[in-house]
A and B are shown apart, each in its own frame.
Chain A
Amino acid sequence: MKKTHFKKTALKYKDLVYSQAYYFINNREDAEDITQEVMMKLWRQIENIERSYVKAWLLRVTRNLCIDYSRRRRDYSLDDQNMESDGVQIAELIDPQANPEKEAINRDSLENVLKILNQLPEKMRNIVIMRDIQDLTYNLIAEAMDLPINSVKVYLHRGRKYLMKKYSDIENQSE
């Protein structure tokens, strides 16, 4: 019974957790490790979590683990920040069917957005990912972040404006 419920929940939300971790941490291996840790925690706690709260709980645990991983990475790697993610992994985000010119523009654009997304402060970054990439509701984000909806909107607005400014700086530099 427990395992069936766990399996169903894990399969349903694995992409949500993985995406959140991937965009936050910007590293595929770490995102896989985080997803596994989240799922192990889910296994231990699943009987104590209300079913209506599972999604928010998963996002909350993912967020905490992402913060831990970021701290560790900051401690151990000061210079090679996201070296592999900037090149290899961006290519995987691009639709292989797209035409080469469009692909090049998309690639640059995504690279830049990912790069600046990674510079956002933790709360803003999590909220922007949840709202604008994962398309989650304000209610769910507020629950996951343990913030009132209005605060979520404020962080989101600031995050978007920060990204806008940084993005235009990068665009201006490359011109």
Chain B
Amino acid sequence: MSKISRNHRDPTDDRDFRQFTRAFDRPIAPSRSFADALRQQLVQPSAPVPANHQPGRPPVTADSPPAVTFVDRRPWRVGFSILEIAATLLLISALALSAYVINAVGRPSTSIETLDGQSARLDSAATPQTLDSSAGVNWGGEEGRSQYYGDASVDTGETPSDVKIGDEGTTTVGPGLIVGDSWYGWTVRAGVDAFLRVNLATGETVWERPYRTWGTLASDGKRIFAFQVDVSDTPTPIPVALDMATGEIAWRGPALHPFATSFTVDESSIFPLDEGTPAAGAVPDVTYQPGETETISIDLTSDERGPVVAGDTVYFTDGRATTVALGTADGVERWRDDRSDDLPTVFGSGDQIHTPMGGTIVANDQYVLVRLPDDSIVSLDPATGEERGRSYKGGITDSSRIILGASLRGDRLVVLTAFSFVSADGPTFSSAVVSVLNAGSLEVLVTSDSVEGGAGFEMVVTDTSAFLLTLSEQQVPEMVEVDLTTGAVSEPFGTGQLVGQVQLSGSGDTLIAAMSSGTVLSFSMETHELLDRHRIQGGQPITLVGGPMPVVDGRPVAIWKVGPNAPFPQFPPATPLP
């Protein structure tokens, strides 16, 4: 790869952009129909507002907003006034009743609705991550998610109080982690790069350390494992173990290759790695040969990769899919699998160009499986790191499919693949297939029927089934169950009940679907029946979809950001699931 250094401008030289400040805040009158419709939802009818203006046009009244009265004197409006007033009163009453119901059940600013009228159990916590390697393993990130958190049946229990983390207005972002059955969470406070341990029962900050970590977190019950980022021109991820009790760094592992993820990629550039250095490169054609490149500082995100703990070993895989096995107690490197010289820096599939995103790893006591950037899977011996088997995606289904997610269940690896193409609406998946592989040899044992309408984006895997989020012919979300023994696909369920963006997770025999609307549904894995519905109100539940809902001590846990004038995260009242 050719690498051409450029003459960089001062990265903070943004004087040319400061001319934009407040230049696009000018009032623009919306269309009359829109204004009238919205007004009728809120207030009594009024005179028409000025006509619509095209984007970018100067404001109608740059210094004084359009004058509007609230009395429409058009003759035909008089006859409607009574009806409109009645409708307005009805709307206001409905809103008031809704607010009363929301605030009367449980605690202020949150709400819970249950199907059976009983109080439901729903706790919340920091951005959920893998609890431990035995309870659930995921190949997640942005290429797909596969979740399953624990085998514990969702149960009723003591209802914790509302909990708010941090001071008023504090913004906390991931990664977070719930460890075992203790109500502790960790998060990174945005802006100040602080790593917090928070008591989720009280919201109290137990300790705070000035660490910047990257990726998801893992724990063995005594330590928290993470990538610590060495802040420099080329951020280097360094495996670290933090003492859970004190927050002090127990040990540091070897520096690994930086990550470059598609998170930082725009339409015009990709970010291949040149000898471990992240670089912005242009790919001029489908030869996948990078053009000139430029060393960059990559954008580190908090929701991509992280370590996995299995037994007394913690596994890290880096931006070049180099996997290291470190002792959880001392951080001593036990083995290393380095394939960075063998992997392409850019690769293609169909008419798409892929960027190397590093590896993703799943592991238990018997198996370590790494998905490599070329979409192949390698099985490693957890004791020695020796390769047991490798399967290219063409060996799983066919080479034109991409791996969306995988889950390790005992000695079987469940892999979800699908066709992927990019449309004007973003990436679209179709014709999803679930394959069951021997986790050692990677021999394909079962291949499911194709889920033609499948979005194939979310998968929950149990010992016997995989539950997929799909799209109906009407493009509404629904779910299907795939029998991992026969490959048979069930009839869709949840149709009409799932709305918007959905995040699946589950525990025991309960399937949990968190929707961007702020409603969380629980379904029976056995009967596919809707068990319960929880409405979380008072915030921006969009972050519900940002992560799965782990089940901790039999309780599903969620977090979301509440409104701009309220602190977040905030915890809803806990209520029992049936």
Whether A and B are associated in the same complex: the answer reads no
